[in-house]
């Protein structure tokens, strides 16, 4: 459920939030031209997980917060078909794991290339509204769309993967001992 909306924000504001962060990405985790990828500052996410739609990779942002990357679309024409369903699957799994948690989420599917490949913003928004976790939605203003965030985040250390959750096979730890 969407609890609050912050409009016309810079993607970096999302990472400054005190809440864990959710980003919708492609199953390859390689589409850094979309808003979610730019929010991560172009940091490369290890993509050797064999992700399917609805799967989640969780990374450590800091000692308290996590980054949950929900694979909700495929790259290319028609890749956003049913993205709302896959986002709902991922969001509701996170709620099931921790029903009291609040999350910051950047609005997926609003970029021109997302729409070109079939993103239905109204359905994606409805999916976030009807999902179980408490979501603090971040909307990027049009004048900030072209603002590059790669250099600002390039000084941050690489993200450490903690776990991957597959819709069909459950959670697998990725922690290094």
pLDDT tens for each residue of 33-68 = 555 554 454 455 555 667 899 999 998 888 899 999
Below-50 pLDDT ranges, the chain: 38-39, 41-42, 143-155, 177
Q: In the chain, what are the domains? A: 2-172 (3.40.220.10)
d(CA 95, CA 43): 26
- 170's CB contacts (< 8 A; 6+ apart) are none
What pTM was computed for the model?
0.84
Q: Which of 139, 53, 45 is nearest to 88 (CA)?
A: 53
Q: Give the per-residue pLDDT at 107.
A: 86
Strands 66-73 and 170-173: unpaired
Helix, strand and coil content of the chain, in percent to the nearest 5, comes to 25, 30, 45
φ, ψ for residue 150 (rounded to 5)?
-55, -45
């Amino acid at each position: 459920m969407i609890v609050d909306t912050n409009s016309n924000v810079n993607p970096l504001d999302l990472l400054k939030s005190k809440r864990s962060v959710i980003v919708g990405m492609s199953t390859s985790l390689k589409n850094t031209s979309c808003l979610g990828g730019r929010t991560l500052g172009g940091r490369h996410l290890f993509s050797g997980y064999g992700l399917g739609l609805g799967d989640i990779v969780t990374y450590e942002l800091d000692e308290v917060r996590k980054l949950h990357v929900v694979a909700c679309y495929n790259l290319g024409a028609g890749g956003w078909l049913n993205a709302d369903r896959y986002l709902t699957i991922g969001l509701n799994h996170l709620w099931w794991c921790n029903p009291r948690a609040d999350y910051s989420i950047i609005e997926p599917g609003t970029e021109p290339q997302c729409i070109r490949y079939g993103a239905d913003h109204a359905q994606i928004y409805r999916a976030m509204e009807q999902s179980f976790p408490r979501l603090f939605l971040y909307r990027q203003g049009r004048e900030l769309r072209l603002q590059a965030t790669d250099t600002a985040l390039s000084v941050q250390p690489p993200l450490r993967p903690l776990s991957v959750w597959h819709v069909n096979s459950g959670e697998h730890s990725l922690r290094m001992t």
